[in-house]
């Protein structure tokens, strides 16, 4: 590359200024001139008449779906540390350059990449997304956005400063059903909402595998174990961690609350503009984080308290995971099945029950109230697709629906606060969101920004 790092930084700053200028013209109704790719390549921007050059970081599992969802663009690079999971994608897109280390990918292809999808395990979301953002690349990142509150805040800050288009992978946010739910709440369909019971019956726990960690195993030749570890503190390879099972291990995943909050809580977070809670408390059965802290429990109940905001009063949200079911609502008809993954939303004039992924199957209960309700006019756009929303936002120079800085980040922070509460069960934590600290528990503050392994920084 003929440009030094300092020159690249100057180019990114120059293009950020140009982007801001173009947006100001667009908002005023002015025509936007299409600029050749070579004039904007260093900031990650792509002219509206050209396809985006996209790289996939983590292309097995969820990553396969994320890359396939943007295959209409140019897939120029694929990065994955485990060819057992990703080998089929390498074969399916033979023109894409293949990497194991996303840092090397950016070093070699920085000026050939406009945007990236990040679909790695939770503990490497932030480092991969940050590497892209600071190079001026647009980012689609699987939920949850990060592995700690600190990482969430840093990604929010970086996304704002670098002016890139970001999207959290909570696809239900682009659904028609979440828009219908919001319009019902804003219409006062159930009055003033005061309580939410939300949760997921999945059990993302590694309890059963804890005794197996004493076993010794050889790293498979298809896996780059130290690159898979990323910023996590060093430990020997064990097949109990991957693939998939990492969600139940504290060093790598975020348990059920981390995996599902961004889906299940999304509708109420949007409709009620919940923002940050003031207190968080977790109740966990048969779990001692001092002796079992490598694993998430098999179930928990987490209570969040949100202060009054705008026209609404205070809201209490109870989160139920795994073995702890969402309680059956009192006004649900006998013989009708309660929701297992989703939420019960209680207002002073009624109840709404909905499923996961964007308030799927939302209904006012009992059914006679649903049939009697005169639904409001549709005011929010319909027919969106989550990946396409991100691509379209890049082309238009606008925010995507679940962008890191204003929506996806704050939503993920709820999950990260729940993870901290699980590690300190039965402690009612007082959260000072503005200063990113707990006012009554220094032990909890140590969990806001856990240490990285040597050689890794955000």
| Cα–Cα separations (whole angstroms), residue 371 to 27, 364, 365 | 42, 9, 10
Instruction: Quote the pLDDT of residue 151.
Output: 98
Say if CB 248 and CB 260 are below 8 A apart.
no
Say if CB 229 and CB 453 are below 8 A apart.
yes
Structure tokens at 71: 């295959």
Instruction: Quote the pLDDT of residue 31.
Output: 29
Instruction: Quote the pLDDT of residue 85.
Output: 86
- Whether omega for the bond prior to residue 243 falls within 30 degrees of 0, making it cis, is yes
Instruction: Quote the pLDDT of residue 47.
Output: 57
Say if CB 294 and CB 249 are below 8 A apart.
yes
CA distance 317 to 358: 17
Instruction: Quote the pLDDT of residue 273.
Output: 98
Interior/surface letters 278-291, b for 16+ CB within 10 angstroms, e for the rest: bbbbbbbeebebee
For residue 40, which of 305, 422, 395 has the smallest C-alpha distance?
395
Q: Which residues, including other chains, have CB under 8 Å from residue 121's CB and lie 6 or more apart?
A: 58, 228, 242, 246, 247, 252, 253
Q: Which residue in the block uniquely carries the two structure tokens 């990114």? A: 12
Q: Which residues, including other chains, have CB under 8 Å from residue 104's CB and lie 6 or more apart?
A: none
Instruction: Quote the pLDDT of residue 132.
Output: 98
CA distance 98 to 77: 6
Residue 116: burial class (beta carbons within 10 Å; 0-12, 13-18, 19+): buried
Work out the number of other CB atoms within 10 angstroms of the CB of residue 270.
22
Give the torsion through C-alpha atoms of 430, 297, 426, 259, to 10 deg: 20
For residue 12, which of 117, 110, 80, 81 has the smallest C-alpha distance?
110
Say if CB 155 and CB 145 are below 8 A apart.
yes
Instruction: Quote the pLDDT of residue 87.
Output: 86
β-strands 279-284, 342-347: how paired?
unpaired
Tens of each residue's pLDDT in the chain, 458 residues:
322 333 333 333 333 333 333 333 333 333 222 233 433 443 445 555 589 999 999 999 899 999 999 999 999 999 999 999 898 999 999 999 999 999 999 999 999 999 999 999 999 999 999 999 999 999 999 999 999 999 999 999 999 999 999 999 999 999 999 999 999 999 999 999 999 999 999 999 999 999 999 999 999 999 999 999 999 999 999 999 999 999 999 999 999 999 999 999 999 999 999 999 999 999 999 999 999 999 999 999 999 999 999 999 999 999 999 999 999 999 999 999 999 999 999 999 999 999 999 999 999 999 999 999 999 999 999 999 999 999 999 999 999 999 999 999 999 999 999 999 999 999 999 999 999 999 999 999 999 999 999 999 99
For residue 76, which of 43, 50, 40, 109 has the smallest C-alpha distance?
109
CA distance 130 to 357: 26
For residue 321, which of 234, 236, 376, 253 has the smallest C-alpha distance?
253
Total length of the chain: 458
What are the phi and psi torsion angles at 100 (to 5°)? Answer: -105, -25
């Amino acid at each position: 590359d003929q440009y030094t790092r300092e020159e690249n930084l100057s180019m990114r700053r120059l293009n950020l200024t140009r982007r801001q200028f173009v947006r100001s013209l667009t908002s005023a109704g002015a025509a936007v001139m299409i600029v050749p790719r070579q004039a904007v390549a260093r900031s990650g921007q792509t002219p509206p008449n050209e396809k985006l050059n996209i790289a996939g970081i983590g292309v097995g599992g969820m990553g396969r779906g994320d890359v396939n969802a943007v295959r209409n663009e140019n897939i120029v690079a694929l990065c994955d540390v485990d060819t057992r999971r990703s080998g089929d994608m390498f074969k399916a897109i033979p023109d894409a350059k293949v990497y194991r280390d996303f840092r090397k990918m950016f070093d070699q292809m920085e000026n050939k990449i406009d945007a990236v999808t990040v679909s790695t395990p939770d503990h490497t979301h932030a480092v991969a997304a940050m590497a892209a953002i600071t190079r001026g690349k647009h980012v689609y990142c699987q939920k949850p956005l990060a592995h700690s509150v600190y990482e969430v805040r840093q990604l929010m800050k970086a996304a704002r400063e670098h002016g890139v288009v970001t999207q959290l992978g909570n696809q239900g946010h682009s659904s028609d059903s979440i828009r219908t739910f919001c319009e019902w709440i804003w219409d006062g369909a159930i009055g003033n909402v005061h309580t939410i019971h939300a949760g997921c019956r999945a059990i993302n726990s590694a309890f059963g595998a804890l005794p197996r960690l004493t076993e010794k195993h050889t790293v498979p030749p298809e896996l780059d174990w130290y690159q898979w570890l990323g910023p996590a503190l060093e430990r020997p390879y064990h097949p109990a961690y991957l693939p998939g099972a990492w969600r139940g291990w504290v060093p790598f995943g975020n348990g059920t609350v981390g995996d599902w909050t961004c889906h299940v809580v999304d509708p109420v977070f949007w409709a009620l503009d919940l923002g940050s809670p003031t207190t968080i408390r977790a109740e966990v059965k048969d779990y001692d984080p001092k002796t079992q802290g490598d694993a998430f429990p098999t179930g928990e109940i987490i209570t969040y308290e949100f202060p009054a905001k705008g026209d609404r009063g205070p809201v209490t949200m109870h989160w139920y995971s795994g073995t702890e079911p969402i309680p059956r609502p009192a006004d649900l008809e006998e013989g009708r099945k309660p929701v297992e993954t989703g939420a019960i939303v209680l207002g002073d004039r009624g109840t709404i029950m909905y499923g996961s992924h964007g308030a799927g199957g939302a209904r006012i209960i009992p059914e006679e109230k649903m049939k009697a309700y005169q639904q409001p006019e549709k005011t929010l756009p319909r027919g969106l697709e989550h990946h396409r929303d991100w691509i379209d936002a890049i082309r238009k120079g606008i925010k995507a629906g679940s962008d890191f800085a204003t929506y996806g980040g704050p939503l993920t922070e709820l999950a990260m606060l729940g993870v901290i509460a699980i590690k300190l069960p039965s402690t009612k934590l007082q959260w000072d969101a503005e200063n990113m600290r707990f006012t009554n528990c220094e032990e909890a503050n140590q969990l806001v920004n856990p240490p990285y392994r040597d050689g890794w920084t955000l």
